[in-house]
A and B are shown apart, each in its own frame.
Chain A
């Protein structure tokens, strides 16, 4: 079966520190991968998506970057965190093809202090 793993579940980081959140998918090959941020009252905001290794599309200019070093691995990074980077970060995947629904990981709650 297809599963998605995301870690850590919670993270508290000081302003100016680096960030690395990791997501891996099992049970499928060549998935589309996504990073979302969810803020209270603001819904889900798509940050990055990837249709293949090394292929990253950015939806929102910001302090974050994403990388896909392997087929089923997606990493969200920052060199220097801002207070405004606090939020709930969700990784998701689906199969290639327009009709495939998204499946989400359990998220990382990031607090920048």
Chain B
């Protein structure tokens, strides 16, 4: 079983739709959860950052973490064509020392059609 599983899509939705992106993971030590947005030929951009379980909202974006199910989600409300990108989930354990490694999903390609 892979540490992080993310549906690669592609996912195509009409403008204004609610988008749900998801990742599952197997390592119960993961405590920090991130979502990145990556436009074509650009580096990933940090969208959302959460610690442990719960919800976090920022504008049209909501991140949810369910540690009991080992499942994280990113919701995009009122999706716009400018949201068309690849979305990567990432997570990290709460370990000390020099272990700063993130584990990434492979990304979901989203297209929002005008």
Residues of A whose CB lies within 8 Å of any CB of B are 6, 32, 41-44, 46, 49, 51, 57, 59, 90, 92, 94, 98-99, 101-107, 109
Q: How far is the CB of B50 from chain A (nearest CB, A)?
A: 10
Measured between beta carbons, the chain B residues less than 8 angstroms from A109 are: 41
Q: Are B41 and A94 in contact (CB under 8 A)?
A: no
Interface majority SS on B: helix, strand, loop or mixed?
loop
Interface majority SS on A: helix, strand, loop or mixed?
strand
Please give me the residue from chain A that is nearest to B4 by CB atom: A43
Looking at chain B, what size class is its interface with the partner chain? 20 to 34
User: Can you show 21 pairs from A to B with CB atoms below 8 A apart?
Assistant: A6-B43, A41-B106, A42-B106, A43-B88, A43-B107, A44-B44, A44-B88, A49-B100, A51-B100, A90-B44, A98-B32, A98-B92, A99-B51, A101-B34, A101-B49, A102-B90, A102-B102, A103-B46, A104-B36, A104-B44, A107-B42
Please give me the residue from chain A that is nearest to B34 by CB atom: A101
Please give me the residue from chain A that is nearest to B8 by CB atom: A41
Q: Are B32 and A99 in contact (CB under 8 A)?
A: yes
Cα–Cα, bound, A83→B41 (Å) = 20
The 6 A-B residue pairs with the shortest CB-CB distance, nearest first, are A104-B43, A43-B106, A44-B104, A106-B43, A107-B43, A101-B49
